């Protein structure tokens, strides 16, 4: 079947939007995870080390969310309108949480009592993760009302929190030292187990409750692709445990990124060619061809700059953070 130029443009923008969302989830995911883990970290010196590990990169990480929102607004305005209308509360909660995080991490530097700002940052991180999980769960269930979709969405939200905690824990293994690094290794084991357990439960729930499981997964070849991605995710899961056991520094974080990438690829394959399963396809949501081409020219300029800047900052601030004595 020959695809029209407009179909190719909409597919290209679906892939680009997904790629930018991957950048956001991986980069901002680990600093959200660090914030979540700060809530259970008692020693102020350990929290200082945690905040120092993300202080130079957290704000640039959130830039990807802005770009995703702009791409969705311009390339898929119908999807933008539907999601904002049906998911207004969790999206506003997400924005409010990110504002709290930004204010608290700046104010704690000048505060005499840092604990209150640490709590605000941690709660902002937790609420942001929960809000993103709610949005994801509602999309997978096709914005369906009722008790069962609500339970599915709640499990999705907890799974996102666990996944971000895993990213944060493995990032701390890579960036910190001493007792905090050892605690991060324990957090990594606990969170990878709960993350994979949540993924298994959600996959079963998708098969039962979502039109994705009824329609998309039943299409020829799709399930085989998903099985391959599941095998990659399983290997990444096992390597996280192995890397923690052998005291690898970078291995756990790299394997966690692979786990997220394979899971996200599975989600993209499952959703395509829909934005909201059973309600809105990417063809129905897309702008006209001239708009998509115009935006493609713009993103072709901006995207390499953003990727280059992110890579450069991670290179400059590579290695373990230095513990600043009080």
Total domain count for the chain? 1
Q: Are strands 274-276 and 280-281 parallel, antiparallel or unpaired?
A: antiparallel
Q: Answer yes or no: is pLDDT of 107 > 70.
A: yes
Q: Answer yes or no: is pLDDT of 323 > 70.
A: no
Taking residues 215-225, report their average pLDDT: 81
Mean pLDDT, the chain, rounded, equals 88
From the list 57, 166, 51, the residue with the least C-alpha distance to 119 is 51
Query: Computed from CA positions of residues 189, 195, 196, 197, in that sequence, does the dihedral angle turn out positive or negative?
Result: positive
Cβ contacts of 317 within 8 Å, gap of 6 or more: 56, 57
Which range is most confident: 46-50, 130-134, 279-283?
A: 130-134
Could you tell me if 296 and 9 are in contact, meaning their C-beta atoms sit under 8 angstroms apart? yes
pLDDT-derived band of residue 113, with 50, 70 and 90 as boundaries?
confident
Secondary structure element (H or E) that encloses residue 151, with its range: helix 147-175
What pTM was estimated for this model as a whole? 0.91
Query: Residues 227, 32, 258, CA angle at the centre, nearest 5°?
Result: 25
Please report whether residue 5 resides in a domain: no
101-110, 189-198, 281-290: least confidently modelled range: 101-110
Q: What is the CATH number of the domain that holds 296?
A: 1.20.1630
How far apart are the C-alpha atoms of 101 and 71, rounded to whole Å?
24
Could you tell me if 199 and 226 are in contact, meaning their C-beta atoms sit under 8 angstroms apart? no
108-112, 128-132, 228-232: least confidently modelled range: 108-112
Look up residue 177 and give its DSSP letter: -
- 227, burial (CB in 10 Å: exposed 0-12, middle 13-18, buried 19+): exposed
Taking residues 276-299, report their average pLDDT: 89
Q: Answer yes or no: is pLDDT of 214 > 80.
A: no
Could you tell me if 226 and 262 are in contact, meaning their C-beta atoms sit under 8 angstroms apart? no
pLDDT-derived band of residue 3, with 50, 70 and 90 as boundaries?
confident
Could you tell me if 31 and 58 are in contact, meaning their C-beta atoms sit under 8 angstroms apart? yes
pLDDT in the model for residue 115: 87
Q: Give residue 47's domain range.
A: 11-316
Could you tell me if 233 and 263 are in contact, meaning their C-beta atoms sit under 8 angstroms apart? yes
How far apart are the C-alpha atoms of 77 and 72, rounded to whole Å?
6
Residue that the structure tokens 């995080």 belong to: 101
How far apart are the C-alpha atoms of 225 and 266, rounded to whole Å?
8
How far apart are the C-alpha atoms of 129 and 122, rounded to whole Å?
11
Q: Answer yes or no: is pLDDT of 91 > 90.
A: yes
């Amino acid at each position: 079947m020959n695809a029209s130029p407009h179909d190719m443009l909409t597919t290209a923008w679906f892939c680009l939007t997904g790629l930018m969302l991957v950048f956001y989830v991986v980069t901002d995911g680990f600093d959200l995870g660090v914030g979540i883990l700060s809530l259970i970290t008692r020693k102020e010196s350990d929290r200082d080390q945690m905040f120092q590990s993300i202080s130079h990169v957290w704000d640039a990480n959130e830039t990807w969310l802005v770009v995703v929102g702009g791409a969705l607004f311009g390339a898929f305005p119908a999807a933008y309108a539907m999601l904002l209308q049906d998911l207004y509360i969790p999206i506003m909660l997400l924005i409010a949480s990110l504002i709290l995080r930004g204010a608290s991490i700046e104010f704690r530097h000048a505060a005499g009592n840092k604990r209150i700002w640490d709590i605000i940052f941690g709660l902002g991180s937790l609420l942001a993760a929960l809000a993103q999980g709610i949005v994801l769960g509602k999309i997978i269930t096709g914005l369906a009302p009722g008790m069962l979709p609500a339970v599915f969405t709640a499990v999705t939200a907890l799974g996102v929190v666990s996944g971000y905690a895993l990213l944060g824990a493995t990032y701390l293994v890579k960036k910190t030292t001493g007792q905090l690094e050892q605690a991060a290794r324990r957090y990594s084991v606990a969170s990878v187990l709960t993350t994979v357990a949540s993924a298994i439960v959600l996959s079963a729930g998708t098969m039962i409750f979502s039109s994705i499981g009824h329609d998309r997964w039943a299409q020829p070849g799709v399930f085989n692709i998903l099985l391959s991605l599941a095998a990659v995710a399983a290997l990444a899961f096992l390597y996280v445990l192995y890397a923690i056991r052998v005291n690898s520094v970078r291995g756990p974080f790299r394997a966690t990124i692979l786990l997220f990438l394979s899971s996200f690829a599975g989600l993209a394959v499952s959703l395509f060619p829909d934005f909201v399963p059973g309600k809105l396809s990417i063809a129905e949501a897309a702008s006209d061809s001239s708009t998509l081409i115009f935006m493609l020219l713009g993103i072709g300029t901006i995207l390499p700059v953003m990727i280059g800047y992110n890579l450069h900052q991670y290179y400059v601030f590579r290695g373990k953070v230095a513990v600043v004595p009080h």
